[in-house]
Amino acid sequence: MKIPIQSSYLVLFGGQSPYRDETWTFGGGDYSLPVELASFNVRQENDGIILEWITESEIENLGFIIERKYIKNPEWKEIASYRTHPELQGQGSVTYRTEYQFVDNLVQTGTTYQYRLADVSYDGVVKYHGIVKIIVKSYDEMVLPGQFLLKSAYPNPFNPITNISYILSEDSDISLIIVDISGRSVKQLVYETKYSKGNYSVNWDGTNDNGIKLSSGIYFVVMKANAMTTSQKIVLLR
């Protein structure tokens, strides 16, 4: 029996779910749909595609499966699953809102991708939700006049070295530092230097300003260009 939970999307979409769902059942029986999906969105950030979705409630939810296809290969292909990616594991049976995120880094510029999301119940019912689509843009297309782009550090997590790249759409005064989880500056990679428009990169070897190796943990790359600031999380593994 389905627990009667009032979902926010019922108000947002006038009482009707915006998704066309289909259910695949393995085995027999009368099954409840395990997930009340409020939203499923896709966006590009740096060189990765970010999938985000929100559930309003879950009933016996093992987790999620993400499938992808594109024009050159029109067949759906599973790219991630709750079986292999812990971030896709479900909450079981809950009546509160849960936010999920998955990053697909294996994409090509100029290609249009479609993604679909499925949830799997304890009884093996696979429920497919609506499809989202996105065209992967180049870095130049993503950077507007007067802005800059801090690309995703690679590799991340890393040991011993990671590469940090960025793009400037105009001449800019640049500051690039590494801070620890408490907000302290541990490494100054670029110090208030004037750079011309273009593409740049710098390596970080996991040491501080004194050349001492830092311990494993979460750090942040903080970049300032003129009056704008952006940051990203990186993980050092020893």
pLDDT beyond 70 at 24: no
Give the pLDDT of residue 234: 94
pLDDT, position 140: 67
pLDDT of residue 167: 85
Query: What pLDDT was estimated at residue 170?
Result: 83
Residue with token string 């060189």: 47
pLDDT for 31: 45
Q: What does the pLDDT look like over 173-226, one tens digit per residue?
A: 999 999 999 999 999 999 888 888 888 999 999 999 999 999 999 999 999 988
- pLDDT score, position 20: 39
CATH number attached to the domain at 139-236: 2.60.40.4070
Boundaries of every domain in the chain:
8-135, 139-236
Within a 10 A sphere around the Cβ of 4, how many other Cβ atoms?
7
CB atoms near residue 156 (< 10 Å):
17
What CATH class has 8-135? mainly beta
Report percent pLDDT > 70 for the chain.
Answer: 83
**What are the tokens at 155?**
């590799």
Cross-strand pairs, 200: 166
Q: Where are the extended beta strands (E) located within the chain?
A: 22-24, 35-45, 48-70, 73-81, 89-94, 98-104, 112-121, 126-135, 148-150, 162-168, 172-180, 185-195, 198-204, 217-225, 228-236
Say how far residue 60 (Cα) sits from the centre of its chain: 25
